Amino acid sequence: MPRRTMIEAIRDAMDVSMARDERVIVFGEDVGFFGGVFRCTQGLQAKYGKSRCFDAPISESGIVGSAIGMAAYGLKPCVEVQFADYVYPAYDQIVSEAARLRYRSNGDFTCPIVVRMPTGGGIFGGQTHSQSPEALFTHVSGLKVVVPSNPHDAKGLLIAAIEDPDPVIFLEPKRLYNGPFDGHHERPVTPWSKHELGEVADGHYTVPLGKAVIRRPGAAVTVLAYGTMVYVAEAAAEEIGIDAEIIDLRTLLPLDLETIVDSVNRTGRCVIVHEATLTSGFGAELSALVQENCFYHLEAPVVRVAGWDTPYPHAQEWDYFPGPARLGRALVETMEA
């Protein structure tokens, strides 16, 4: 099976979707001729023409707002916001419009759009190229929120998102674009070509939305992770020698509660990890759900490891980023609690 980077897998997902359904339209800033600042749309304009893949003005509300209108017409726009840090001008369109169109019109109009955006830190991106705003979307009824962690899932989830009848926020951890990253910034990065999850089948396949996957089965503690943190969790568990069960959530909304509850009820312990800031982050929702559903199986308090409640700094990147050392300490504390 061919190996692809996450960038190539995402591009392939759009290519496959555009070839299968002429209603699929791709646009955003620098997405057309240039092929995207991360190369995710390279070649699509040449292959499908300017009506299907084109450059947009620098206006996030314009990009998402026009996509909503296109969806109301009957197209399936898959648009890009260059960095998740710059989605806020489109927040009104996403929250007030895309998420509610089906509900408020009683299905008269629907909004099958995908809003792709590179997310997450670990790349010296500073304050406005590192944020993880997923909790701002998981709080919105009517949206689906997806965060892939590897090329295979990225392609399958993106095709599923494009085919989904509801609006999907598709967050791509840019730290994972070229290879997995476990937080060990001092070591050279392994490319996806050397990783089995870099195996991406040609053609059409989907990874269903709303289904988590167990990346590492274990019996001692459940780790709930997504995006880059999946590899940080794997590294932390290995380094301290704890038999952790690592769940890659993949879709945050709707959430695969069944897989989570089943795991925590077996292990009796739960550590949640995300890059996003702690307070009111998605970890708070996960923690509450575990507490509500697994209370009588819990042998220790649920622990959250997250970005600090500060804007994402530049020079202090590795003091901020929740790496394997910090997560490892949390795992040890949980086991000793």
Partner 1 sequence: MADAGMLRFHVPEPEVRPGGTPDFSNVTIAKAGSVPRPEIDVDPRDIRDLAFSIIRVLNRAGEAVGPWAGLLSDDELLEGLRHMMTLRSFDARMQMAQRQGKTSFYMQHLGEEAVSCAFRKALAPGDMNFPTYRQAGLLIADGYPMVTMMNQIYSNEADPLKGRQLPIMYSSKEHGFFSISGNLATQYIQAVGWAMASAISNDSKIAAAWIGDGSTAESDFHSALVFASTYKAPVVLNVVNNQWAISTFQGIARGGSGTFAARGLGFGIPSLRVDGNDYLAVHAVAKWAAERARKNLGPTLVEYVTYRVGAHSSSDDPSAYRPKAESDAWPLGDPIVRLKNHLIQRGVWSDERHTQTEAEILETVIAAQREAERHGTLHAGGKPSARDMFEGVYAEMPPHLRRQRQQAGV
Distance between CA 302 and CA 172 in Å, rounded? 27
Query: Measured from the CB of residue 55, what is the shortest distance to partner 1 in angstroms?
Result: 9
Site pattern 135..174 for partner 1 (x: CB under 8 A): ------xx-x-------------------xxx--------
In the range 89-118, which residues lie near partner 1 by CB under 8 A? 89, 92-93, 96-97, 100-110
Interacting span for partner 1 (CB under 8 A) from 87-95, 189-197, 224-232, 310-318: 87-95
Distance between CA 150 and CA 213 in Å, rounded? 12
List, in order, residues 6 or more apart from 250 with CB less than 8 Å away: 146, 147, 148, 149, 153, 157, 207, 211, 212, 213, 226, 256
- Backbone region of residue 291 per phi and psi (left: phi > 0; alpha: psi in -120 to 50; beta: other values): alpha
* Residue 255 touches partner 1, criterion: CB under 8 A: yes
* Residue 261 touches partner 1, criterion: CB under 8 A: no
* Residue 87 touches partner 1, criterion: CB under 8 A: no
* Residue 74 touches partner 1, criterion: CB under 8 A: yes
Query: Measured from the CB of residue 29, what is the shortest distance to partner 1 in angstroms?
Result: 13
* Residue 33 touches partner 1, criterion: CB under 8 A: no
Interacting span for partner 1 (CB under 8 A) from 7-15, 33-41, 57-65, 305-313: 57-65
List, in order, residues 6 or more apart from 108 with CB less than 8 Å away: none
Distance between CA 164 and CA 141 in Å, rounded? 16
- β-sheet bridge partners, residue 170: 116, 146
Neighbours of 19 (CB within 10 A): 13
Among 30, 37, 39, 61, binds partner 1 (CB under 8 A): 61
Token output for 199? 């195996």
Pick between residue 8 and residue 163 the one whose CB is nearest to partner 1. 163
* Residue 59 touches partner 1, criterion: CB under 8 A: yes
Distance between CA 180 and CA 195 in Å, rounded? 8
Distance between CA 43 and CA 50 in Å, rounded? 11
Asked about 129 being catalytic, the answer comes back as yes
Among 13, 18, 25, 212, binds partner 1 (CB under 8 A): 25
Catalytic residue positions? Answer: 129
- Applying CB under 8 A, which residues contact partner 1? 25, 51-52, 56-57, 59, 61-62, 65-70, 72-75, 77, 89, 92-93, 96-97, 100-110, 141-142, 144, 164-166, 210, 254-255, 257-258
